[in-house]
Structure 1
Amino acid sequence: MRTPRMLTSFAYGALAVLALAGTVAVADEAATIRASLAKVLPEYTPTSVQPTQIDGLYQVEIGPQVMFVTEDGRYLIDGAIVDLESRENITETARGKARLRAIDGIGQENMVVFKAPDERHSITVFTDIDCGYCRKLHEQMAGYEEAGISVRYLFYPRSGVGSPSYDKAVAVWCADDRQAAMTRAKSGAEVNSKACRNPVQQHMELGELMGIRGTPAIVLDNGEMVPGYVEPKRLAALLEQGVN
């Protein structure tokens, strides 16, 4: 006859077996999905394959990109999935988190940062030194700082590696005072060219993965991407909406 203690031990053991089986199943399905994606996207390696709250559907991340794949690895969904009860856009929420993880992977030490004295929010801006609206945004730096918004710059010279815009980005990075050099370059002044190890191509590769086509491209601190120039007061309002 089983005592209550014996039943409790039995129950815990059964739960442990079920949990292990579930873990193995998830691992097997993730491996199936990775193998399927490798056939059609051999140049990309998923950074994460995780089950979603929807039975049989997995969330796949490739850096900042997010897609959804069925557990058998046959069907891929690249679009909005909306929870009709909560009205949450599950896809966009996932993309925002993936963008932030990818940006964190770059590291703030590999950005040109203009930190607000009383920081309330931090935005990441993909910038091209020769882009007119990028220069307009930089001209408003005092307004962003006054609104408590720190600006972290990533370089995205749209004309590509080896172009004059690319060379200016490298010169800014290699300058003794990067913030001052960025301001000079965006005002049209020449920055003395120096060669050094720099993250410009890494910034550009991340921008490509994020699907950036124009600059400035602003990533808010909740991961939402906002294309184009946004003046300080409006940007502060957008950021506050993201908090609430």
Structure 2
Amino acid sequence: MYLIFNSIFLSILITFSSLGIADEQQENSIKESLKRWAPDAKPQSIKSISVPNLYEVILDGQIFYLTQDGRYAIQGQIIDLATRTNLTEKRVKAIRAAAISELDEKDMIVFTPKDPKYTVNIFTDIDCPYCRQMHQHIDEYNKLGIKVRYLAFPRAGIGSSSYDKAANVWCAQDKQKAITLAKADKPIKNTAQCTNPVADQFLLGEKIGVNATPTFILKDGTMIPGFIRPSSLIKLLEQNANSAG
């Protein structure tokens, strides 16, 4: 990914260093440059932002910025010091939330209370010790009104033994029972091969910045890596809901 970005940045520096063109022309030129230097690159969005002379480009779920004249490319955080708002993180959260909202819940493994107050999405790895520790508290999460939706993220990657275990779980007839057994390091019986979402969920996790397990994604796109105990999670969810208004 970094090699692609470096190539893109270099191409932009060369291609746009002498241009000063209108928004629509700028956007089209950026798209054409991306096609020349990274043919498979398909930016989800190119637009001007509130910072003068900067354009925001979203590519593969990642954000970078271009100056209006195309001379400079910037990869990093933009913070509005007047409002103390991290503008980049705000956009990244929106991207994450949108990506999760497009998923079908039937492709997740869901543990839900009768009347859920909150929903959390958790990228999980069958072999991850902290994921296993977290799953031991699944009933406690539910008792607090927290609905847990598991997404597969075998950290060793597609084709690894962890990936195979996740595929077995997602192919099981009783997925809740299967993931509970797997996280207890017990065999899953009578598992057939099936078309499963494990690879797609893993690639989505990489795309939105997941690099550890468990990783929690809240409704607003907030990402929190690491095991969070039920009592701490409910407080965090309440605070998050209050801050959202």
TM-score by length of 1: 0.83
Letter in 2 for 1:27: E
Change beyond 3 A, Cα 1:191–1:48: same
Shifted more, 164-173 versus 210-219: the winner is 210-219
1:143 aligns with 2:165: no
Give matches, 1:52-71, under 5 Å: 52-71=49-68
1:181 aligns with one of 175, 178, 183 = 178
Letter in 1 for 2:66: V
Q: Which residue of 1 aligns with 2:76?
A: 79
Q: Which residue of 1 aligns with 2:46?
A: 49
- Report how far residue 25 of structure 1 moved: 4.2
Aligned residues: 221
Letter in 2 for 1:135: R
- Report how far residue 84 of structure 1 moved: 1.3
1:230 aligns with 2:228: yes
Q: Which residue of 2 aligns with 1:197?
A: 195
- Report how far residue 124 of structure 1 moved: 1.3
> Is the radius of gyration larger for structure 1 or structure 2?
1
* Structure 1 unaligned regions, length at least 5: 1-23
1:30 aligns with 2:42: no
- Report how far residue 50 of structure 1 moved: 2.4
Change beyond 3 A, Cα 1:122–1:73: farther
- Report how far residue 34 of structure 1 moved: 2.1
* Structure 2 unaligned regions, length at least 5: 1-20
SS of equivalent residue, structure 1 residue 180: helix
In 2, the alpha carbon distance for the partners of 1:64 and 1:116 equals 32
SS of equivalent residue, structure 2 residue 102: helix
In 2, the alpha carbon distance for the partners of 1:113 and 1:73 equals 46
In 2, the alpha carbon distance for the partners of 1:57 and 1:116 equals 46
- Report how far residue 60 of structure 1 moved: 1.9
1:99 aligns with 2:93: no
- Report how far residue 41 of structure 1 moved: 4.3
1:125 aligns with one of 122, 135, 138 = 122
Change beyond 3 A, Cα 1:49–1:184: same
Letter in 1 for 2:197: P
> Considering only aligned residues, what root-mean-square deviation do their CA atoms show, in Å?
2.0
SS of equivalent residue, structure 1 residue 215: coil
Letter in 2 for 1:241: Q
Shifted more, 109-118 versus 125-134: the winner is 109-118
Identity %: 41
In 2, the alpha carbon distance for the partners of 1:240 and 1:40 equals 46
In 2, the alpha carbon distance for the partners of 1:241 and 1:161 equals 36
Q: Which residue of 1 aligns with 2:85?
A: 88
Q: Which residue of 2 aligns with 1:241?
A: 239
